[in-house]
Amino acid sequence: MKKMLLLVTLVAVLVPMFAVSAGAQDVKKALSEYVLVPGSAPVMAIPFKPSPEKAKAPSYCKPCLFYTGDFNSSSSEANGLFNATGGVLGSSNAEVYSGFTVPKGKTWTITALIINTLANSSAIDKKETWDIRKGITSGSGGTDVKTGTGATYWKTTGRSGFGYTEYTNKVTLKPSVKLKAGTYFMNVLTSCTTSTCSEGSSGIFYESDQESQPGLNQYGPKQPWDDSYFNSSYFGYTYDATWGSSGACGGIGCDQFSTAAQGTQK
């Protein structure tokens, strides 16, 4: 049965609150569940700028195949969805799978997968798990294309939201993965399971959403909208849609997540 999660009142600075039940923390799966009205400009570290006429790839994504765009906490649909193993979840996982499309007639060689994450930890595990799947639908994980572990890059983006600092989480794929045209689903599982994670058992990690079309500073081909899924036995979800009134984010945002892929195209 899915856990019942309560809303709390919006305060000047949105500080997460946890309810203690049977001696354990009842972790909120989505940031929207902390507030009645999500998004607040005062929590931004820097102001956002409109996308330039010809957007540049993020500095951490070179060569960059695509970037869906920046998280914008001033949006009324701003949100984030738990995506991690370890930290406050202990040995449990919560996984966000974001859809992406390789254009018709093209082949992508992916060397790194990238997500942006709202977190309370200045360091994470040095290696993390990544996964690429195909054919995910509501209730079904489809088929696994390739999974592995790789070295991580974890640096601040200069943005923040809901009282958390946003970090770029980039995992290197070795060997690289070749994908033919089609739609796939990516997950980078933020890991906080060793002493290298600065927050240890109190680590909190929400994958940032992206709620504008086109995205702020979007780069490369447009990626799928309303085609991401949440999988977590801890929260009682089996590849459930993230968007919409019945989605994992409770009807607030999560139409697309702030993701990117690094590599080359032929």
The per-residue pLDDT for range 160-201, each reduced to its tens digit, is 999 999 999 999 999 999 999 999 999 999 999 999 999 999
Dist. CA 222–CA 242, nearest whole Å? 19
**Predicted pLDDT of residue 5:** 31
Under 8 Å between Cβ of 46 and 72: no
* pLDDT higher than 50, residue 226: yes
**Predicted pLDDT of residue 13:** 28
Under 8 Å between Cβ of 153 and 128: no
- The mean per-residue pLDDT over the stretch 2-15 comes to 30
**Predicted pLDDT of residue 40:** 32
Dist. CA 10–CA 15, nearest whole Å? 9
Q: Which residues make beta-bridge pairs with 134? A: 143
**Beta pairing class for 84-86 and 164-192:** parallel
* pLDDT higher than 80, residue 243: yes
**pTM (two decimals):** 0.85
- The mean per-residue pLDDT over the stretch 202-222 comes to 96
